[in-house]
Amino acid sequence: MEPKTIKKIGVLTSGGDSPGMNAAIRAVVRAGFYYDIEMYGIYRGYEGMISNDIKKLESKHITHVLERGGTFLKSARSAEFRTPEGRQKAYNNLKSHGIDALVVIGGDGSLTGAHLFYKEFGIPAIGLPGTIDNDLSGTDSTIGFDTACNTAIEAIDKIRDTATSHDRLFFVEVMGRDAGFIAINAGIGSAAAAILIPEKKMPIEHLVDKLRIRTKAKKASNIVIVAEGGKSGGATEIAALVSKHLPYYDIKVTILGHLQRGGSPSSYDRLLASKLGVSAIEGLLQGKYDVMAGLINNKVVYTPIKKAIVDDKSVDEDDFRVAKILST
Ligand code: F6P
């Protein structure tokens, strides 16, 4: 597509926050300044676009943010933006500031918003994958996923200490909504006895058998990782089912929850966010609209948003094989 002239770009973060969002905003804004573009921060995601919470950004706004978790632009899930009236209000506000392009950092819902907005109003928009869930196609990893896995592993290591001391069986629930990426990574990385994810059903009898075998083998500790949104329920439900079969076990449940969304981004997430932030601005200037910038085999790739948000990225089968071998 022939690039439009772009002088003012708005940036926003939307949906569940993820570590590295600040690093991504900083990279987007710095790259914008490098190419002589006026940069605008849209606060609280699409909510701020509708309520006109939009401010011109200066260098001082992005100083010392790279290393901070969360997002200084704040985030929200906007029900109003899902309506044509909400999007019209948002468009009018963007026009009043003269903003002629957008960078949207978020997960599938946020990128869907950018796609709709481009389709309806022709505003050049580019998405960056910002979610701990890693459930977007068109990128090997989403911004925040690596840090969330590290956070989960650090927490599980601590749980293992107490689990071993008391010979307890722990069920640890990790985030990931409909995706098992955090569970499989954190599970392999923390020597889990078993990993339960939404994409693959494990009959409760299999899990019970596995735990019985491990008990006979006198394994030092047993930690089962359960992804939220799993087919048989979360960690609490699974623990209740298992306890009926293994009444002699002292069973505990830990839900890691939003702990996984916070914290300073890892080195990988900082690099990913920085590369993609620069690529977002360069992509817009080259006329790449309605796409998501991602990193595949360490190369920046622009994927149509419509393709990036379809749920076809699945946990690697080989990861299951590795997890199985290592948990016997
Ligand atoms: O999409 C990121 C995520 O952290 C999911 O893993 C989780 O299911 C969801 O957001 C929680 O959302 P909220 O913070 O709105 O409860």
pLDDT digits (tens, 9 = 90+) for 128-178: 999 999 999 999 999 999 999 999 999 999 999 999 999 999 999 999 888
What's 67's DSSP letter? T
Atom of ligand 1 nearest to the CA of 228: 8
What's 130's DSSP letter? B
Amino acid at 192: A
Distance 225 CA to ligand 1 centre (A): 18
174 annotated to a ligand binding site = no
Note whether 315 and 199 are within 8 A (CB). Answer: yes
Q: Using CA positions, which residue lies closest to atom 8 of ligand 1?
A: 177
Q: How far apart are CA 79 and CA 111, in angstroms?
A: 14
Q: How far apart are CA 102 and CA 93, in angstroms?
A: 13
Average pLDDT of the chain to the nearest whole number: 95
Give me the percent of the chain exceeding a pLDDT of 70. Answer: 99
Atom of ligand 1 nearest to the CA of 229: 8
pTM to 2 decimal places: 0.97
Structure tokens at 74: 């704040």
Helix (H, G, I), strand (E, B) or coil at 17: coil
Residue 261 in contact with ligand 1 by CB distance below 6 A: yes
Give me the percent of the chain exceeding a pLDDT of 90. Answer: 90
Confidence at 328, pLDDT banded by 50, 70, 90: confident
In our burial notation (b when 16+ CB lie closer than 10 A, e otherwise), range 88-118 reads ebbbebbeebebbbbbbbbbbbbbbbbbbbb
Confidence at 322, pLDDT banded by 50, 70, 90: very high
pLDDT, position 233: 84
Confidence at 1, pLDDT banded by 50, 70, 90: low
Q: How far apart are CA 84 and CA 251, in angstroms?
A: 50
Query: Scanning the structure block, which residue is given the tokens 């298992």?
Result: 242
